[in-house]
C-alpha cells in the first residue's frame, strides 16, 4: 500500500455517534413551517392520485432529507455499530432517528422509500450486490419500451375491470402493508456516486508506482480509504463492500478475485488479477502482520520490564527472575520476527523490481515494434527518400530562379517609372526645393533644441529654489531643536539651583536648631 496512506486507527471509531447530530438538524428542516412539517410527517400516499403535484413536492423533500443525512453519515444502522452513509436501513431505528421534538414519527416513510426504489434512487442491498448488470446499463431500455407499448392496451383493460392496480407491487396496500414490505437495507445511489468520485480523485493524488500500491484485501482497503470517501465520515466494512462492488461493476476501475482487490483508476479497466498479484498481496499482508506483531511484542517487553522493577522493589527476586526470563524470551522472539520481516521485505522488493523491469521491457518492445513498423513503410525506403530529396532540390532551384527573375523585373520597372516622371522637370528647381526643405528642417530642429534648453534652465532654477527652500526649512527646524534643547538645559540648571538652595536652607536650619539645642543644654 502507498506510504502516504494514513488509515484510521479503527474502522468505526467510538467517537462517532448518531446522537451527536440528529437528522432533524439538517437544513431541510429549517426551511419548512410547523404546519408544513406536520403534513410531511403524515401519511400522504393517497395524494399520488388526488394531488400529484403535492405528492411530488413531499417526495422531493424527503429525498433531500435522506440524501443529506446520508452524505453526513447520520443514518442509523441495524447493528448498533454507529451511523452509516451509503446504506439506508429502513426500520424502527430509522423512524426513531427521524422523530421530531414532540415525539412524532413519519407515517408515510414506507411510501417514500417505495417511490425511491421505483425511481431507482435507492436499490435493495441484496439485489445491488448480486446483480451482474451495471446500474447504468441501457441495453434493456428498448425492450422495456416495446413491451410497454404492446402491453398497454391489455393493461388498461385489466385496470378498468379492477383486475390489476395502477401502482407498482411494492407500493400497493395500506401504509402498514407497504411498511412491512419495504423494511430492509438499501443503497443510496447519489451518495454512493459521490463517495466513489471522491475516492478516485483522492487516489490519483497519491504516489502508487509499486505493484503493491494497487493491491488490497478488504480489511486493508477499508483501513486505507474508509475515511477518504465522504468528508467527516468513516465508512463501515459493509459499506466499503458496497463501494467496492460499485467501483468494480459500474465504474470499472477495480477488480476483485476472492480476497484480492486491485484498485487502479489510472488504468481503467485495471489489468487482470494474476497469481503473482495473489502472492504479492499475501506477502504484503504478511509484512503488515509481522510489523503488528513486533509492535505488540514491544509493548509486552515494556510491561515485563516494569514488572521486573516492581518485583525488585517489593524484594520478590523469584518473581522478578520469572518476569526477566519472559522478557528475554520475548526479545528473542522479536529478533526472529525481525529476521523474518527482513527476508519477506527483501523478496517483496525483488518482486517489485522484477515487475518494474517487465513494464520497462514491455515499453521497449512496444517502442521497437512501433519504430520497425514506421521504418517498414514504403515512404521511408532508400530509393524513395533519394528521389524525394532530389525532387525537392529541383523545385527549390526553380523557385530561386523565379524569385531572381521577379526581383530583376521589379528593379527595371522602378527605373522605368522614375525616368518617365522626370520628363519636363527642371533638375535645378528640384535641387533648390530640396535645399529649402532641408533648411526648414534644420530651423525647426534648432527651435526645438532652443526650446528644450529653455525648459531645462527653467526646471533647474525651479529645482534650485525648491532645494534652497527645503534647506531653509531644515535650518529653521534645526534652530528650533537647538533652542528647545537650550531652554530645557536652562530649565534643568534653574531647577538644580533651586534644589541646591533648598538643600542649603535645610542644612542651615538643621545647624541652627542644633546650635540652639546645645545652648539650651549649656544653660541648663
Work out the average pLDDT over 267-290.
84
Cβ contacts of 337 within 8 Å, gap of 6 or more: 290, 293, 294, 297
Of 3, 4, 2, 12, which Cα lies nearest the Cα of 222?
12
With residue 182 as reference, give the H or E element that holds it: helix 175-182
Q: What is the pTM of this model?
A: 0.59
Instruction: Check: CB of residue 16 under 8 Å from CB of residue 83.
Output: yes
Q: pLDDT tens for residues 454-489?
A: 888 899 998 889 899 888 888 888 888 888 888 888
Q: What is the pLDDT of residue 524?
A: 67
Q: Edge to edge, what strands does the sheet with 184-188 contain? A: 87-90, 184-188, 122-124
The C-alpha cell at 450 is 532652443
Rounded to an integer, what distance in angstroms lies between the CA atom of residue 28 and that of residue 192? 21
The yes-or-no verdict on residue 272 having pLDDT over 50 is yes
* Residue 287 backbone phi and psi in degrees, to 5: -60, -45
Rounded to an integer, what distance in angstroms lies between the CA atom of residue 331 and that of residue 298? 8
Q: Looking at 276-290, 428-442, 449-463, which range is the least confident one?
A: 428-442
Q: Looking at 145-154, 276-285, 320-329, which range is the least confident one?
A: 145-154
The C-alpha cell at 500 is 541646591
Percent of the chain with pLDDT over 70: 85
With residue 61 as reference, give the H or E element that holds it: helix 52-71
The C-alpha cell at 509 is 536650619
Residue count of the chain: 524
The yes-or-no verdict on residue 401 having pLDDT over 90 is no
Cβ contacts of 345 within 8 Å, gap of 6 or more: 287
Instruction: Check: CB of residue 284 under 8 Å from CB of residue 303.
Output: no
Rounded to an integer, what distance in angstroms lies between the CA atom of residue 123 and that of residue 87? 10
Q: pLDDT tens for residues 183-240?
A: 999 999 999 999 999 999 999 888 877 788 889 999 999 999 999 999 999 999 999 9
Given its phi and psi angles, is residue 252 left (phi above 0), alpha (psi -120 to 50 degrees) or beta? left
What string of DSSP letters covers 75-112? B--SSSS--BSSEEEESHHHHHHT--TTS---SSHHHH
Rounded to an integer, what distance in angstroms lies between the CA atom of residue 26 and that of residue 32? 12
Q: Looking at 84-88, 215-219, 332-336, 496-500, which range is the least confident one?
A: 496-500
Whole-number mean pLDDT of the chain?
82
Rounded to an integer, what distance in angstroms lies between the CA atom of residue 62 and that of residue 90? 14
Amino acid at each position: 500500500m502507498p506510504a502516504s496512506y494514513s488509515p484510521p486507527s479503527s474502522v468505526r471509531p467510538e467517537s462517532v455517534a448518531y446522537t451527536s447530530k440528529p437528522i432533524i438538524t439538517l437544513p431541510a428542516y429549517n426551511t419548512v413551517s410547523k404546519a408544513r412539517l406536520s403534513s410531511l410527517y403524515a401519511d400522504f400516499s393517497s395524494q399520488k392520485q388526488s394531488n400529484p403535484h403535492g405528492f411530488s413536492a413531499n417526495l422531493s423533500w424527503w429525498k433531500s432529507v435522506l440524501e443529506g443525512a446520508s452524505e453526513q453519515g447520520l443514518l442509523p444502522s441495524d447493528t448498533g455499530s454507529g451511523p452509516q452513509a451509503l446504506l439506508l436501513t429502513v426500520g424502527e431505528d430509522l423512524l426513531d432517528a427521524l422523530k421530531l421534538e414532540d415525539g412524532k414519527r413519519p407515517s408515510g416513510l414506507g411510501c417514500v422509500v417505495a417511490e425511491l426504489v421505483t425511481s431507482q434512487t435507492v436499490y435493495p442491498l441484496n439485489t445491488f450486490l448480486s446483480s451482474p448488470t451495471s446500474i447504468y446499463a441501457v441495453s434493456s431500455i428498448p425492450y422495456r419500451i416495446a413491451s410497454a407499448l404492446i402491453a398497454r392496451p391489455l393493461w388498461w383493460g385489466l385496470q378498468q375491470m379492477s383486475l390489476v392496480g395502477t401502482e407498482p407491487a411494492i407500493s400497493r396496500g395500506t401504509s402498514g402493508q407497504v411498511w412491512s414490505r419495504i423494511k430492509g437495507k438499501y443503497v443510496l445511489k447519489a451518495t454512493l456516486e459521490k463517495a466513489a468520485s471522491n475516492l478516485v480523485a483522492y487516489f490519483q493524488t497519491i504516489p502508487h508506482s509499486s505493484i503493491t500500491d494497487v493491491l488490497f484485501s478488504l480489511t486493508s482497503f477499508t483501513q486505507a480509504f474508509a475515511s477518504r470517501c465522504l468528508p467527516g465520515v468513516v465508512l463501515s466494512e459493509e459499506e466499503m463492500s458496497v463501494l467496492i462492488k460499485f467501483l468494480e461493476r459500474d465504474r470499472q476501475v477495480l477488480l476483485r478475485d476472492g480476497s484480492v482487490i486491485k484498485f487502479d483508476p489510472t488504468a481503467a479497466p485495471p489489468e487482470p488479477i494474476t497469481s503473482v498479484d495473489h502472492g504479492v498481496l499475501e506477502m504484503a499482508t504478511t509484512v503488515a502482520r509481522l510489523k503488528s506483531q513486533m509492535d505488540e511484542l514491544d509493548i509486552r517487553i515494556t510491561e515485563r520490564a516494569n514488572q521486573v522493577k516492581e518485583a525488585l522493589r517489593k524484594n520478590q527476586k523469584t518473581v522478578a527472575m520469572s518476569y526477566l526470563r519472559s522478557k528475554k524470551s520475548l526479545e528473542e522472539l522479536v529478533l526472529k520476527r525481525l529476521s523474518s520481516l527482513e527476508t519477506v521485505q527483501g523478496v517483496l522488493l525483488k518482486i517489485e523490481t522484477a515487475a518494474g523491469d517487465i513494464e520497462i521491457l514491455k515499453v521497449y518492445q512496444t517502442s521497437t515494434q512501433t519504430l520497425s513498423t514506421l521504418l517498414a513503410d514504403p515512404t521511408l525506403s532508400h530509393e524513395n527518400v533519394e528521389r524525394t530529396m532530389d525532387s525537392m532540390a529541383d523545385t527549390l532551384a526553380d523557385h530561386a530562379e523565379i524569385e531572381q527573375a521577379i526581383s530583376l523585373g521589379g528593379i527595371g520597372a522602378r527605373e522605368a517609372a522614375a525616368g518617365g516622371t522626370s520628363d519636363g522637370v527642371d533638375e535645378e528647381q528640384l535641387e533648390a526645393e530640396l535645399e529649402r526643405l532641408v533648411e526648414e528642417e534644420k530651423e525647426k530642429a534648432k527651435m526645438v533644441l532652443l526650446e528644450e534648453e529653455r525648459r531645462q534652465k527653467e526646471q533647474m532654477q525651479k529645482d534650485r529654489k525648491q532645494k534652497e527652500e527645503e534647506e531653509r526649512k531644515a535650518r529653521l527646524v534645526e534652530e528650533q531643536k537647538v533652542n528647545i534643547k537650550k531652554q530645557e538645559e536652562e530649565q534643568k540648571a534653574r531647577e538644580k539651583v533651586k534644589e541646591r538652595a533648598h538643600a542649603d536652607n535645610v542644612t542651615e536650619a538643621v545647624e541652627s536648631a542644633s546650635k540652639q539645642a546645645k545652648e539650651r543644654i549649656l544653660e541648663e
